[in-house]
Amino acid sequence: MNRRAAAALPVAAYVVIVSGMALFAQSRGIPFLQTNPYYFVADTARSLWERGSLERKENAEVYRLQLEKSRRDPGKVYWQDIFSMGRNGKLYPTRGVLMAFVGAPFYGVFGDLGFWIMSQVQLFLVLFSVFRIARFLTSSQTALLLCGLLIVGTQLMRYSYTFSYDVFATALIVCGLDLLRVKPFLGAVLMTAAAETRVNYALFLPFLLFAWLPQYGDRRRAIVSLASGAAVGAAVLLAMNYVLWGHPLTTGYHRSVIFKDGAALVQPVSSEISLRILSSDWGKKLIGEEGGLVRYNPILAIFPVGLLLARKTRFEAVQLALAAAILAQVVFVYSLSVWPDNNNANRYLLTAIVLSAIPSAAAFEAWRGTTHEETSG
């Protein structure tokens, strides 16, 4: 089998898998775009393409209905997480603005099918970047094995049948990390852009932006490129915040709209960090039936072994940077005051789950080497 055919096989397998999942869901009558926060990002992309506006027409109707409900039920607070109050009273999406801009051309060319196509492109780019990174750290065979285990050993492929901004942000972080090796400026721009989806994605930056620093030939030039790329990405996000919300440091989460006593009130989304929550319920967090992190992502069990083995290689700095970034996300997400009431917290950790597979490549490489030696012997 020639090299091109060998490379095409994993791509073909991926297409078969995601298409099969889509056909199975369709046969069960499960719509691709369901009424959830992801749906409203897709609807915003429609509005951008058809009307040139981030304001969904339906936002005004939801606003009116919520006002009326609160008027009829004094004292009760009605809330929603679809839109926030922009400057000049406009109702912009709380999250996913950048993704809506990217999704608009897909919708314009393919209609609603474009959202499904965009989802597959995002997932493929995530897997392709993981493959490239793992191949650089180990070998092509190990990298291919790692991608296969990501498909069957994590929740990643469950997102192939939804239009998810969690996958969008994961693609920006993982593809950015891959590009940082050869194009530091572009990689830094992509990685910084992920903070638009959720501010906590900025926690990856201090650790991952300089993950490849020991591998650069001209470190001074690389640092300048990294800093410039991060500055450009941050400038775009700050400008977007100013245009949408009236201040560079204000996001949609700061201007959420609630309804009480027939009035619309603007207030930030309440979510505090608590050490008590961080230290509690780790059995539920890791192996709970409704959202156990390791229960539904068993590849994570290999992460500590891979990290230990990776320390013996020349890429120890990269692996330690990944471990620090993952730990920062886990600590942050599992410290949030909203966590006890959220059975879908794993989606907040999707990027960390994907990144955790990369150090595992060292464990697979060691296993493959041992197996090869036993077979040869």
Average pLDDT of the segment spanning 187-195: 96
Average pLDDT of the segment spanning 26-32: 90
pLDDT in tens, 123-133: 999 999 999 99
Quickly list H helices, 28-139. 37-51, 57-72, 97-110, 113-137
**What residues does each domain of the chain span?**
31-376
Q: Which residue has the higher pLDDT, 269 or 182?
A: 182
Return the SS3 of 260: strand
Instruction: Quote the pLDDT of residue 277.
Output: 86
The answer, yes or no, to whether residue 61 has pLDDT greater than 60, is yes
The answer, yes or no, to whether residue 255 has pLDDT greater than 60, is yes
- The predicted model scores a pTM of 0.92
Average pLDDT of the segment spanning 267-292: 85
Unique residue bearing structure tokens 């969904």? 56
The answer, yes or no, to whether residue 280 has pLDDT greater than 90, is no
Instruction: Quote the pLDDT of residue 363.
Output: 85
- Asked if 338 and 271 touch (Cβ cutoff 8 Å), the reply is yes
pLDDT tier, 101 (very low <50, low <70, confident <90, very high otherwise): very high
Instruction: Quote the pLDDT of residue 371.
Output: 42
pLDDT in tens, 326-377: 999 999 999 987 765 566 678 889 999 999 999 888 888 887 764 444 434 4
Instruction: Quote the pLDDT of residue 372.
Output: 40
- Asked if 69 and 167 touch (Cβ cutoff 8 Å), the reply is no
Unique residue bearing structure tokens 């990501």? 150
Written as six digits, the tokens of 357 are 């597979």
- Asked if 174 and 128 touch (Cβ cutoff 8 Å), the reply is no
Environment class of residue 270 by beta-carbon count within 10 Å: exposed (0-12), middle (13-18) or buried (19+)? Answer: exposed
